Structure 1
């Protein structure tokens, strides 16, 4: 779980560094015509820039998510849940770093978004969080326990 989380965090932060250095505000680079573009956006809010004036709330939420995932991870024995929690931890930790250390100031930083899907603009952490949430729902609906399947051993990364 920690290895996956570190990979997500590192990939997200490196890609954001690239976006900040390579993209100017308002510039749009086509990646897949009429589907995906690169466009720099500094987001003080949540998805769709909701809650722009409450950046500190998102900082606290990300911190709580990181702590909560680390607490729950102590019980992990399921490979599938290890992947879910690794993706969620990496995405939440990367967003927390943005909120804590990016301008305009401590605990009020803006998240760097640059992958433009047309309806919204996101980043690698958003992809990990969305994928992690989708898999979380699937595992929950199927009743897969954190501790793994009875009678089978699963490594807990």
Structure 2
């Protein structure tokens, strides 16, 4: 089961890195600044030195590498969890989180920042600029939270018999 999660992580990583290559090397978005796509969506280059939504800015080399190592530690923990996970929804969720985390770690190592470029807005209201890795991480976390909230409690007999076996 874990193999599927690792394959999904690899797919997310590949798609994320291809999209960032396209933004940087094919359409040269940093030089162009932004490209309007629809009334509510544009491609906007942001070199994000922080984490989600620009929080925890790592504006020094020390901060950059600390953030990189912390993120790598979290990715390692997710990979270890994924190896043991049996639930298919959790496997998919962890695969999404792992692939996205590795994609953003690679950016931080290569460029010193994460390449963000997907920008949704409505009128004067602008939403965060993000990338495919961020979207995968967010979707994975939402799936994990939904499963945790919606999970049916185990019947008392099953819990007691499992506890007896562990003793």
TM-score tier after normalising by the smaller chain length: 0.7 to 0.9
* Partner deviation per Cα, 1:30-81 (whole Å, 9 max, x = no partner): 2221x21101111111123222323223202220122101111222111101
Partner of 1:113: 116
Residue 143 of structure 2 corresponds to which residue in structure 1? 135
Q: Describe the superposition over 1:116-135 as per-residue Cα deviations: whole angstroms up to 9, x where unpaired.
A: 12221110001001111111
Structure showing greater radius of gyration is: 2
Instruction: Map Cα deviations across residues 69-127 of structure 1 (whole Å, 9 max, x no partner).
Output: 1111222111101110000000011111111222xxxxxx1110111122211100010
**In 2, distance between residues paired with 1:144 and 1:72?**
21
The answer as to whether partners of 1:43 and 1:113 remain within 8 angstroms in 2 is yes
Runs in 1 of length 4+ with deviation above 4 angstroms? none
* 2:13–2:100 contact (8 Å) kept in structure 1: yes
Candidates 33, 37, 44, aligned match of 1:31: 37
Which structure 2 residues correspond to residues 12-27 of structure 1 after superposition, within 5 A?
12-21=16-25, 22=27, 23-25=29-31, 27=33
Partner of 1:97: 106
Higher helix share: 2
TM-score (normalised: structure 2): 0.76
Residue aligning to 1:106: none
Long gaps (5+) in structure 1: 103-108, 151-157
Distance 1:115 1:97 in 2: 18
Deviation at 1:27, TM superposition (A): 2.4
TM-score between both structures, scaled by the size of structure 1: 0.81
**Alignment partner of 1:70: what SS?**
helix
CA contact (8 A) 1:44 1:111 kept: yes
